[in-house]
Amino acid sequence: MSHVFHRNPRQQLDFAVRGQGIELFDQNNKAYIDASGGAAVSCLGHGHPVVIQSIKDQLDQIAYAHSSFFTTRAAEDLADFLAQRSPGDLNHVYFLSGGSEAVEAALKLARQYFVEVGQPTRRHFIARRQSYHGNTLGALAIGGNAWRREPFLPLLVPAYHVSPCYAYRDQREGESQEHYAERLAQELDHKIQELGAENVAAFVAETVVGATAGAVAPVKTYLKRIREVCDRHGVLLILDEVMSGMGRTGHLFACAEDQVVPDIITIAKGLGAGYQPIGAMLASSRIYDAILAGSGFFQHGHTYMGHATACAAALAVQQVIEQEHLLDNVLARGEQLRAELRSALADHPNVGDIRGRGLFVGVEFVQNKDTKATLDPVLKTHASLKKQAMQNGLLMYPMGGTIDGVHGDHVLLAPPFICSDSDISEIVTRFTRTV
């Protein structure tokens, strides 16, 4: 009898015992193609020898030193690597141990920034419906699914929600992308005015929505228009790239494609690619300098931040991706995945939309392609789909539903960046057999 307190104690879980390349193996040696990368985590696949060696080397030197006494070469080198490649002047890298921690730190940094610059009433956050930012109380407050927040009310952070940029569902017939983006920017503008700009700290959005909507990328110009609204009101822009960042879309930072520089970016998942738990928050010089010139101390921190072994693993992951030009493969294999899914599922009565950027791909299911009505309550559909996929030797990430008026039964596919073209075709074959 296991004594692990599993998230879903009624679920019978198999054991993952081995991982090699794009496959995981269970206790019966059954192989599964990891086409969701966990949840967009395993971008280098499993058992990568270079990453494993980097972890061993780091352990031989020093596994951990508390960040209030020392920094380490691994942390400094990883920060340099990220800062040199980050958009704009997002050069100040604050390490954490995962996505929720990174988001939580970003919320606190935004609040402290406004205290430092003498605008302490800027405490409120605006985020979007149908978004996920993590499960800690602050991250949960800004997350866009009311049903997730419900059991934990009242939450500690005042947060308000506006519409996501979800063209398949909400762009009107005949409406241009520019007009749609403008309409959403106006909605944000109105929300800020309603709350009073002097009370709003930041607008938070996933650059490409992951788990809650299935790789929903914004229309062109959306983020630019949002950036303008934020600037007009002195509101910070926080982009959550915990899922969409670190090359998943074919760009190291997803927002590079939108040509927008936020004030803070959060990253995690693909940063350590599952080899070690690590996340980070990248802040602009404006914010960093305000802290430096003000109290000189960011009032936030965790025991394991900047963990040397985690930083060494993440640096090795990112160097392999760069040296092997894997982001080119992400772009090419992503195009292939969408094209093959579209052709294999063209006659499927319930496949409404196939979308995404790079190897961040969503397939949305509907009852009726014209009305786009959703299938049944998802939580039913998604468990059975996941099980069926596993029987077919495929790991994929189904989610969604009609819960709290949010639409979209979907499956997220986020295969490793090392997939070959035949791997992608095999994923499509198993996926088509499953749905």
Question: Is 48 exposed, middle or buried, given 0-12, 13-18 or 19+ CB atoms closer than 10 A?
Answer: buried
Our finding on whether 206 is near ligand PMP (CB under 6 A) is yes
Candidate ranges 25-33, 93-101, 192-200, 215-223; the one touching ligand PMP (CB under 6 A) = 93-101
User: How far apart, in whole angstroms, are the C-alpha atoms of residue 282 and residue 288?
Assistant: 10
Our finding on whether 42 is near ligand PMP (CB under 6 A) is no
Candidate ranges 130-138, 250-258, 333-341, 345-353; the one touching ligand PMP (CB under 6 A) = 130-138
With a CB cutoff of 8 Å and minimum separation 6, the contacts of 197 are: 233, 234, 235
Site for ligand PMP in 263-282 (CB under 6 A): 268
Answer left, alpha or beta for residue 131, where phi above 0 means left and psi between -120 and 50 means alpha: beta
Residue whose pair of structure tokens reads 């009433």 in the numeric block: 121
Residue 204 or 428 having the CB closest to ligand PMP: 204
Our finding on whether 134 is near ligand PMP (CB under 6 A) is yes
Residue 115 or 283 having the CB closest to ligand PMP: 283
Among 128, 133, 227, 251, indicate the residue that binds ligand PMP (CB under 6 A): 133
Residue 211 or 344 having the CB closest to ligand PMP: 211
Q: How many other CB atoms sit within 10 Å of the CB of residue 256?
A: 18
Query: Rounded to the nearest whole angstrom, what is the least distance from the CB of residue 77 to ligand PMP in the complex?
Result: 23
The secondary structure element, H or E, covering residue 84 is: helix 73-85
Site residue total, ligand PMP (CB under 6 A): 15
Pull the structure tokens for residue 52. 């494993």
Query: Rounded to the nearest whole angstrom, what is the least distance from the CB of residue 415 to ligand PMP in the complex?
Result: 17
Our finding on whether 211 is near ligand PMP (CB under 6 A) is yes
Contact 149, 142 (CB under 8 A): no
Query: Rounded to the nearest whole angstrom, what is the least distance from the CB of residue 157 to ligand PMP in the complex?
Result: 15
Give the length of the chain.
Answer: 435
Candidate ranges 132-140, 183-191, 220-228, 405-413; the one touching ligand PMP (CB under 6 A) = 132-140
Query: Rounded to the nearest whole angstrom, what is the least distance from the CB of residue 261 to ligand PMP in the complex?
Result: 19
Determine the 3-state secondary structure of 353 from DSSP. strand
Our finding on whether 157 is near ligand PMP (CB under 6 A) is no
Our finding on whether 103 is near ligand PMP (CB under 6 A) is yes
User: How far apart, in whole angstroms, are the C-alpha atoms of residue 326 and residue 170?
Assistant: 34
Site for ligand PMP in 227-256 (CB under 6 A): 240, 242-243
* Residue of 270, 267, 277 lying closest to 311 (CA atoms): 277
Among 113, 132, 166, 431, indicate the residue that binds ligand PMP (CB under 6 A): 132
Query: Rounded to the nearest whole angstrom, what is the least distance from the CB of residue 269 to ligand PMP in the complex?
Result: 6
Q: Name the residue type at position 311.
A: C
Residue 18 or 108 having the CB closest to ligand PMP: 108
Candidate ranges 127-135, 144-152, 158-166, 407-415; the one touching ligand PMP (CB under 6 A) = 127-135
Strands 236-240 and 200-206: parallel
Determine the 3-state secondary structure of 128 from DSSP. strand
Among 19, 21, 26, 39, indicate the residue that binds ligand PMP (CB under 6 A): 39
Query: Rounded to the nearest whole angstrom, what is the least distance from the CB of residue 426 to ligand PMP in the complex?
Result: 26
Answer left, alpha or beta for residue 199, where phi above 0 means left and psi between -120 and 50 means alpha: alpha
Query: Rounded to the nearest whole angstrom, what is the least distance from the CB of residue 100 to ligand PMP in the complex?
Result: 3
Query: Rounded to the nearest whole angstrom, what is the least distance from the CB of residue 104 to ligand PMP in the complex?
Result: 9
Strands 409-413 and 360-365: antiparallel
Residue 105 or 290 having the CB closest to ligand PMP: 105
What order of strands is seen across the sheet that includes strand 279-283?
92-96, 279-283, 264-267, 236-240, 200-206, 124-128, 159-162
Query: Rounded to the nearest whole angstrom, what is the least distance from the CB of residue 241 to ligand PMP in the complex?
Result: 7
Q: How many other CB atoms sit within 10 Å of the CB of residue 416?
A: 27
Among 45, 98, 306, 416, indicate the residue that binds ligand PMP (CB under 6 A): 98
Contact 23, 419 (CB under 8 A): no
* Residue of 255, 276, 242 lying closest to 85 (CA atoms): 255
With CB atoms as reference, the residue minimizing the distance to ligand PMP is: 99
Q: Which residues bind ligand PMP (CB under 6 A)?
A: 39, 98-100, 103, 132-134, 206, 210-211, 240, 242-243, 268
